């Protein structure tokens, strides 16, 4: 609650708490007779005018409170937008957002898969702390796996305080649309601080696909053939139009795009088919990645059309903000939950390409964790500015609090740091970032963890019993392993990673006593709810 101090002609003394009461109490006492009546009426009239002016002032202040529009895309890689160098995908609206705010060249997800990163955004806490370290419900343990990976939670605990809950305590309206993937019924957005939930439930991919009739338990289609992203955008526009105008808001639009199934956006697919046919010849090039295979060219027309659907949606929402004159007091954030899917087990390969970054969703190489990251904070960010200092998904929570003028809550967002200095152009100072992904993944990733400090990055592979060291300033594509040539730095970073894991109580994989390399996978047993 903000306190306004106002100087009124009625009195030279400041007014606080109850201005109406102060105005009436301090009005001069009327004299006897007609003169007294006129004096009294004059005083009351002046008090009335003052109250009207005060009401207008407060309403104006309410209108200027900071709002938030958060775009979260599923499986969009760092290289999927024009602002980061894509030549095949066309993202004019997203690029326009970058041009009007700040682009982060080193924005990181807390995990290379979706649910942990989503939990980190919501809570400002590392996935290890919230005990969600794999996508929900995860691959599960298989006899064919060399190691048993640890069980984690299948939902975001009610005890965790989300950014929606933190803002709601300060009278924010909270709206969620799209992919949730943080637990089954009872752990949906409306159980975690959101007033409205459009389409958010336990599934990580759109049930029934992107075209109606889908089978989303909390979003019925309106007409056959309706496109999911367009519908979520429509509902978001409706919220902006019908919201309580006297209250600030958080609009959190979490796209299912561009997650599998890869289903072309019909309005744009012809354009990209023609573009691909003109630009490329021969088969899509691929490259081995450990026990997997990666796409090495951005040439998937269907995926590009799905990216275009997101871009259209971003343009629609930004246009609505401007139409409603909300663009000057609304912070806009654009992010992805993990890298694009380019790598798959065996000889298959994914639909996307993350070059110049290595590997894919599911991996702790840069292609799995470095994300397109944009923030436009009116009055704070300089148009077209760029930050080269690393940030991570836990940082959004404290950043939003500070931009809203609310007190920091470090006991809640324990692993996040406010980005306000970066948003103002200060890239000085270093920080250490940690990743812990002790699970197997369909991208061919095996259990491991990672640490980045300065330009140095170490990845430890528990499955292979080895570690790799890279200098990202000289080797963005992580092609030259420096672990043998610089063993001192490798040992130093490995020790820091182990100490951090011990401090947070990170669950570790263990050898599988029943390992059978050629065994058929056993179905996963669901974790017990905690």
Q: How far is 221 from 234, CA to CA, in rounded Å?
A: 12
Roughly how many angstroms between the first and final C-alpha of the chain, as a whole number? 35
Please give the Cα distance from 204 to 242 (Å, whole number): 29
| Mean pLDDT calculated for residue range 196-202 | 96
In the chain, how many H helices and how many E strands?
13, 20
What mean pLDDT comes out for the span 458-486? 97
Q: Which pLDDT score, from 0 to 100, does residue 516 have? A: 85
How many percent of the chain have pLDDT more than 90? 82
Per-residue DSSP letter, 227: B
Contacts of 171 (CB under 8 A, 6+ apart): 247, 248
Instruction: Give pLDDT, residue 429.
Output: 87
Mutual angle of helices 228-242 and 301-323, in 10-degree steps: 10
pTM of model > 0.75: yes
> 37: part of which helix (H) or strand (E)?
helix 33-63
Q: What is the pLDDT of residues 23-77, one digit of tens each?
A: 333 344 444 444 544 445 455 455 444 444 444 444 444 447 899 999 999 999 9
pLDDT band at 140 (very low <50, low <70, confident <90, very high): confident
Take residue 49 and report the two structure tokens written for it.
Answer: 């005018």
Rounded to an integer, the average pLDDT of 299-321 is: 98
Helix (H, G, I), strand (E, B) or coil at 349: strand
User: What are the structure tokens assigned to 485, written together?
Assistant: 């040539």
Q: What confidence tier does 518 reach under pLDDT thresholds 50, 70, 90?
A: confident
- On whether the CB atoms of residues 462 and 447 are closer than 8 A, the answer is yes
Q: Which two tokens stand for residue 293?
A: 């295979």
Beta bridge partners of 432: 453
The more confidently predicted of residues 330 and 138 is: 330
DSSP 182-212: S-STTSSGGGTT-SEEES--S-SS-TT-SBS
Residue 169's pLDDT is 96
Q: Does residue 485 register a pLDDT over 80?
A: yes
Q: Is the peptide bond before 137 cis (omega within 30 degrees of 0)?
A: yes
């Amino acid at each position: 609650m903000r306190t306004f101090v106002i100087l009124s002609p009625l009195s030279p003394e400041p007014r606080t708490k109850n201005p109406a009461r102060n105005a009436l109490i301090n009005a001069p006492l009327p004299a006897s007779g007609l003169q007294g009546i006129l004096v009294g009426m004059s005083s009351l009239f002046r008090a009335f005018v003052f109250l009207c002016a005060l009401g207008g002032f407060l309403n104006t202040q309410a209108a200027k409170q900071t709002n938030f529009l958060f775009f979260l895309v599923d499986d969009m890689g760092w290289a999927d937008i024009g602002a980061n160098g894509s030549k095949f995908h066309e993202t004019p609206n997203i690029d326009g957002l970058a041009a009007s705010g700040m682009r982060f060249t080193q924005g990181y997800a807390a995990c290379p898969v979706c649910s942990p990163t989503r939990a980190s955004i919501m809570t400002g806490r590392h996935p290890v702390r919230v005990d969600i370290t794999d996508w929900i419900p995860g691959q599960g343990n298989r006899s064919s796996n060399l190691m048993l990976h640890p069980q984690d939670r299948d939902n975001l605990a009610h005890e965790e305080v989300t950014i929606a809950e933190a803002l709601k305590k300060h009278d924010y309206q909270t709206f969620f649309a799209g992919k949730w993937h943080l637990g089954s019924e009872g752990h949906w957005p409306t159980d975690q601080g959101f007033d409205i939930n459009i389409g958010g439930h336990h599934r990580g991919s759109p049930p029934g696909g992107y075209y109606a009739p889908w089978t989303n338990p909390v979003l019925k289609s309106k007409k056959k053939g309706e496109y999911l992203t367009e519908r979520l955008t429509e509902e978001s526009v409706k919220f902006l139009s019908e919201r309580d105008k006297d209250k600030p808001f958080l609009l959190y639009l979490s796209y299912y795009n561009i997650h599998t199934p890869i289903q072309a956006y019909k309005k744009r697919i012809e354009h990209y088919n023609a573009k691909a046919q003109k630009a490329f010849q021969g088969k899509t090039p691929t490259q081995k990645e450990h026990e997997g295979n990666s796409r090495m060219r951005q040439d998937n027309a269907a995926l590009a059309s799905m990216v275009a659907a997101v871009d259209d949606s971003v343009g629609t929402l930004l246009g609505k903000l401007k139409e409603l004159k909300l663009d000057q007091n609304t912070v806009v954030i654009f992010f992805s939950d993990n890298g694009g899917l380019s790598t798959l087990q065996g000889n298959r390969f994914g639909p996307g390409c993350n070059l110049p970054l290595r590997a894919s969703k599911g991996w702790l190489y840069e292609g799995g964790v470095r994300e397109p990251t944009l923030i436009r904070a009116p009055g704070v960010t300089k148009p077209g500015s760029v930050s080269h200092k690393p940030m991570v998904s836990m940082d959004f929570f404290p950043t939003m609090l500070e931009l809203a003028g609310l007190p920091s809550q470090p006991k809640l967002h324990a692993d996040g740091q406010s980005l306000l200095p970066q948003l103002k152009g200060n890239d000085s100072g270093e920080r250490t970032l940690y990743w812990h992904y002790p699970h197997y993944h369909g991208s061919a990733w095996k259990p491991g963890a990672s640490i980045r400090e300065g330009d140095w990055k170490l990845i430890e592979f528990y499955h292979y019993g080895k570690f790799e060291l890279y200098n990202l300033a000289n080797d963005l594509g992580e092609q030259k392993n420096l672990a043998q040539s610089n063993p001192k730095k490798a040992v130093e970073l490995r020790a820091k990673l182990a100490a951090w894991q011990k401090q947070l109580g990170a669950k570790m994989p263990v050898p599988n006593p029943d390992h059978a390399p050629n065994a058929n996978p056993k179905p996963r047993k669901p974790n017990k709810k905690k």
